[in-house]
Structure 1
Amino acid sequence: MQRQDTQDAPLFGEEDENNQRKRSKMRHPLVSFFHLFFRTSAILVYLFCDILSGRFVVCMVTIILLLSCDFWTVKTHSKNTKSSAESRVFWLGLLVCPIFWILFVFSTVFSFNIKWLVVVILGLVLQWANLYGYVRCKVGGKSNLRNMAKNYLGVQILKRATKQPESF
């Protein structure tokens, strides 16, 4: 039997593959780009601030503006996220960038560069607030994250307590 005869009906598994491809394509690539652009730009401005501008205030304001634009973009992005690829970009950006700001806090403290400590703490707070807000939205607005963690730990302890001891 030739494929021409069966063009009306998809072969086994073809429909699933086509739907998977449609969902994984980015429907809003510009929003995804700016989501990562503002976050990485703030990190790059911090790293290369001495090269770009020797003025502390200019760099601090630029970083705050970039992170504020990121906050707005993430809000827009989360409303428009429909595909799995966009979701991965969204959560990757939300999770990875705060790690950089944590590293910057430690490097600033250990290098005794106190004037930059304000900037990195502000960057960390803004990124962490964004992450916390969206994790909370993902989990559910009514449930408390602390209660969820306690429940999870309680279930894990109960599982271990009821587990049959292994015989030697």
Structure 2
Amino acid sequence: MLEPNQPRFDFSSPPPMQQQQQPSPSPAQFFPAQHSSTGGNAFYPSPAFGSGGVPPPAATAAAPQSDDRVYKGVHPVVALFHLAFKAGALLTFILGSLFSSSYVTVFVVTILFLAADFWTTKNVSGRLLVCLRWWNEVRDDGSTHWVFESAPDAEARVNAFDKWFFWITTGGNFLVWLLLAIFNLMSSRLPMTIVGAVLGGANFIGFLKCSRDAKKRVTQFMLERAAQQQGLVREAARAL
């Protein structure tokens, strides 16, 4: 028998509580949508498509770097001296009287520039820029003989810009001195123009003949190879 003031305890299991399922919070509750003037959610911006909702094309390969060199060939130092001596001779002839009143001084400096240009073009720049070389031999009987040399693989070794630069400057130099000789027929400076035209013309004509001789050799070589191939084909046909 229990006492009235003693608390009673109920050891029976209580009924199960019905748990109410609550929806999971969405990101919009924590990050409210902010609409921009262009449309779409500011927090989750839409991709920047082009007009009509078409995505832009994939990035193409990077464009090749442009060549900023002044001289596009492979022998810039040789080309510099090839042009410097020609320009020095012309500038001394045209502007020499402004710096010196002595005709002899202008004449000597001009001839020195012309001689340096002739030797450089004939023996250095012609051999490196176009793989050609020429000289003139005097035989015992007094006759002259042109001798031409060219690299066997000149077409593959010569740079296109080097070749263009060489022929433009060499031919242009000869033409300029020829015009100066015509304009100074009655002038005391005519001997300088004659020397310039003769030396420039010798180089231009010499390399022109050398180039033609080299092309003729290449053509002859190709014809010989073709004839050999035809002979081999005939022998193979006979063997069959």
- Shorter-chain TM-score bucket reads 0.5 to 0.7
Q: How far does residue 71 in structure 1 lie from its aligned partner after superposition?
A: 1.7
Unaligned runs of 5+ in 2: 1-57, 65-70, 130-157, 217-240
Which structure 2 residues correspond to residues 94-113 of structure 1 after superposition, within 5 A? 94-109=170-185, 112-113=186-187
Q: How far does residue 69 in structure 1 lie from its aligned partner after superposition?
A: 1.2
CA distance in structure 2 between the aligned counterparts of 1:36 and 1:60, rounded to whole angstroms: 20
| 1:27 counterpart = 2:103 | no
CA distance in structure 2 between the aligned counterparts of 1:48 and 1:92, rounded to whole angstroms: 23
Q: How far does residue 56 in structure 1 lie from its aligned partner after superposition?
A: 1.3
Taking only the aligned residue pairs, the percentage that are identical comes to: 28
Q: Could you list the structure 1 runs, at least 4 aligned residues long, displaced by more than 2 angstroms after superposition.
A: none
CA distance in structure 1 between the aligned counterparts of 2:200 and 2:101, rounded to whole angstroms: 25
| 1:71 counterpart = 2:118 | yes
CA distance in structure 1 between the aligned counterparts of 2:199 and 2:104, rounded to whole angstroms: 18
CA distance in structure 2 between the aligned counterparts of 1:107 and 1:25, rounded to whole angstroms: 35
SS in 2 for 1:134: helix
Q: How far does residue 87 in structure 1 lie from its aligned partner after superposition?
A: 0.9
Q: Retained in 2: the 8 A contact 1:35–1:77? A: yes
Q: How far does residue 37 in structure 1 lie from its aligned partner after superposition?
A: 1.1
- Structure 1 counterpart of 2:73, which letter? M
- Structure 2 counterpart of 1:73, which letter? T
- 2:198 paired residue number: 125
- 1:60 paired residue number: 107
SS in 2 for 1:27: coil
SS in 2 for 1:26: coil
CA distance in structure 1 between the aligned counterparts of 2:73 and 2:119, rounded to whole angstroms: 19
| 1:51 counterpart = 2:98 | yes
Q: Deviations over 1:5-55 (max 9, x none)?
A: xxxxxxxxxxxx9xxxxxx94221011011111111111111012112111
- 2:210 paired residue number: 137
Choose between structure 1 and 2: higher helix proportion. 1
Of the two, which has the highest radius of gyration? 2
Aligned length: 125
CA distance in structure 1 between the aligned counterparts of 2:212 and 2:203, rounded to whole angstroms: 14
Unaligned runs of 5+ in 1: 4-16, 18-23, 144-168
CA distance in structure 2 between the aligned counterparts of 1:122 and 1:105, rounded to whole angstroms: 9
Larger relative contact order (Cα-Cα within 8 Å, sequence gap ≥ 6): 1
CA distance in structure 1 between the aligned counterparts of 2:85 and 2:78, rounded to whole angstroms: 11
- 1:14 paired residue number: none
Q: Retained in 2: the 8 A contact 1:101–1:123? A: yes
- Structure 2 counterpart of 1:79, which letter? R
CA distance in structure 2 between the aligned counterparts of 1:42 and 1:139, rounded to whole angstroms: 29
- 1:37 paired residue number: 84
> What is the TM-score of this pair, normalised by structure 1?
0.65
CA distance in structure 2 between the aligned counterparts of 1:121 and 1:25, rounded to whole angstroms: 33
Q: Retained in 2: the 8 A contact 1:25–1:83? A: no
